Structure 1
Amino acid sequence: MYRHILIATDGSDLARKGLEHGLSLARPLGAKCTVLSVSEPLRPEMASAARMGGIDDPVSRYDQQIDAIMKERFAFIQQRASEHGVAVELTHEIDSSPAEAIVRFAKLKGCDLIVMSSHGRRGLQKVLLGSQTAEVLVNTTVPVLVIR
């Protein structure tokens, strides 16, 4: 049925539910499994504020922090994948729109299922907070399994 599953995660507890579902699907299907984590770039106003606060090279500091976070996140994902008996490809991208990065990556890599989590916010909360999952659903032709 599915040959290449893309699991999108931001490392949150909710996203771990999506990770578990995706890994649980991959093994019995014999599907290739790729885990994508997208980080937003350091915004210029944040870099400026950091410089004013005495940080000489905020971009390098931000990159180091992201690298440390991804190393820890990927170690956890690799452990969970191993426990599920699934080989995973781990990928990290920096993009100001995580949803666009997920859609683009799925298309580029020929993924035939995207697995991701959603808080399920509605109404004003959704408008104010936005929803990466909703954006992915609107902008992809690839089936999306949403975990709540």
Structure 2
Amino acid sequence: MNSRKNHSTTTNNTSTYDYSFKILLIGDSGVGKSSLVLSFISQHCLQDLSPTIGVDFKIKLLSFGGKQMKLTIWDTAGQERFGTLTSSYYRGAHGIILVYDVTRRQTFTNLSEIWAKEVEFYSTYHDCIRILVGNKVDRDCERL
């Protein structure tokens, strides 16, 4: 954890956290970004969600090593027409999760051809962690 991002802040006067992290999920539409976020936040596996329009975010508070952490997780639409909208959400991200659908090869190809280029162009935090996630592995029989 980067102590340079240490924030002791009170939210709603009931919850205090020591660290605040901005996490951004990116990738093509339909790869399961919203499902990943919702299963992490609520610990339930959800299917057949309606597409995200623009950007949505969720907050999760965690405790680790005696410290309270606030994760603000931004879920992007993944559709090109929202590209101008999502570019502003890269700024200040501490972590970017690049998501693809293992049953759709083009979603993996687009990570390097489209999404990785956007990360390089728009990300402002030089120590930003990037994680690659192959989603929908439970649909192994549909892999191409």
Shorter-normalised TM range: 0.3 to 0.5
Higher-strand-fraction structure: 2
Higher-helix-fraction structure: 1
| TM-score normalized by the length of structure 2 | 0.39
| TM-score normalized by the length of structure 1 | 0.38
